[in-house]
Structure 1
Amino acid sequence: MTLTIRPSTDADLAAITAIYGWNVRNGLGTFEEDPPEQDEMARRRATFLDRGLPYLVAERDGVVLGYAYAGPFRLRAAYRYTVEDSVYISPDAVGQGVGRALLAALIEACEALGLRQMVAVIGDSGNSASIGLHAAMGFAKQGVFPDMGFKFGRWVDLVWMQRPLNGGGTRNPDAPGLALSGV
């Protein structure tokens, strides 16, 4: 019953869609209010993969328990070394180390790409699980934006956290960067 972290495949899309749908309907980790259909999730995944970014799943005994990906922080060229992480876990897998394993693998994959900064934009300043996970993985809180979204009948904060990759801003990047710019 070993947890395996691996690149996602098209065969994982039903599980990814179900996990995200549950998080949309029940959590504040996303400000999306209506769960997207599988074809939309496939389109989103393909957008990140086409840019050379990692999109990972965690599975145990052939069951996908969670997924994580890195997306462009912003689309302007100067941000090409910075990504934003997203981690979503099945409700059946919470508290089993799945999020930590996914985030560790995502950080490693992004460092292998020569990226220099990873940002977490966490919904709900009361989301101690996500804030704690990111802090344990080397992210520092950079600020809280109060009342940024309205979901489940209340205003919700955004917590911004940041983790340097490959030395962060201590020196110039070695590689030309990914094709993250699009505007």
Structure 2
Amino acid sequence: MAPTLRDTVDADLPAITAIYADEVLHGTATFELDPPDETEMASRLAGVRKLDLPWLTAEADGQLLGYAYLSPFRLRPAYRYCVELSVYIAPEARGRGVGRMLMEALIARARALGLRHLIGAIGDSANAGSIALHKAAGFREAGVWRETGWKFERWIDVVLMQLDLTPDGRPPESEGLRL
């Protein structure tokens, strides 16, 4: 069955926590070193919901394949039109287009919210799959923070990618996030 996307519900938290824990323990998409528990992940979901930002889940045949969400890029009011996009995919679902589906849905939601920029902060400049996914969605490289994270006994870069939703630079049509 093809994956379907929907808004995340609290019942998704055990699977979300497991997907994220796998990335914490084995990947470089996050620089966390200890996997957060379900209570902490519930707090993060609540924080996104409080700002009326989307947190989406992809599933097929009753199995959660991945999740993605928007969060504030920075908490100062001048940044209220800029959000960070985060995507996490279960190991067995990688390479099946789930990340792209989630990313495209979040881009559409960001446009509908009247936001201006999406930022992708990709852990590890060697993460070719995530960089290619962002490029395919229209993101461009905005810079690299070199060797800023220490994980797995090595220094890891952060690649910043940016998608400009209103490249003509017109004034905002919404109030942006309520920070």
TM-score normalised by the chain length of structure 2: 0.98
Q: Determine the structure 1 residue equivalent to 2:14.
A: 14
**C-alpha contact (below 8 Å) 1:118/1:163 kept by paired residues:** yes
Identity of aligned pairs, percent? Answer: 54
TM-score normalised by the chain length of structure 1: 0.96
The within-5 A match list for 1:6-155 is: 6-155=6-155
Q: Determine the structure 2 residue equivalent to 1:174.
A: 173
Q: Measure the CA separation in 2 of the matches of 1:90 and 1:123.
A: 17
Structure 1 counterpart of 2:171, which letter?
A: N
Structure 1 counterpart of 2:146, which letter?
A: P
**C-alpha contact (below 8 Å) 1:141/1:161 kept by paired residues:** yes
Q: Measure the CA separation in 1 of the matches of 2:168 and 2:91.
A: 36
Residue 44 of structure 1 aligns to a residue in which SS? helix
Aligned pair count reads: 179
Q: Measure the CA separation in 2 of the matches of 1:169 and 1:151.
A: 39
Q: Measure the CA separation in 2 of the matches of 1:9 and 1:146.
A: 36
Q: Measure the CA separation in 2 of the matches of 1:105 and 1:160.
A: 20
Structure 1 counterpart of 2:174, which letter?
A: A
Residue 178 of structure 1 aligns to a residue in which SS? coil
RMSD: 0.8
Q: Measure the CA separation in 1 of the matches of 2:109 and 2:25.
A: 29
Q: Measure the CA separation in 1 of the matches of 2:59 and 2:167.
A: 31
Counterparts in 2 of 1:48 and 1:169: CA distance versus 1, 3 Å:
farther
- The reply to whether residue 157 of structure 1 matches residue 157 of structure 2 is yes
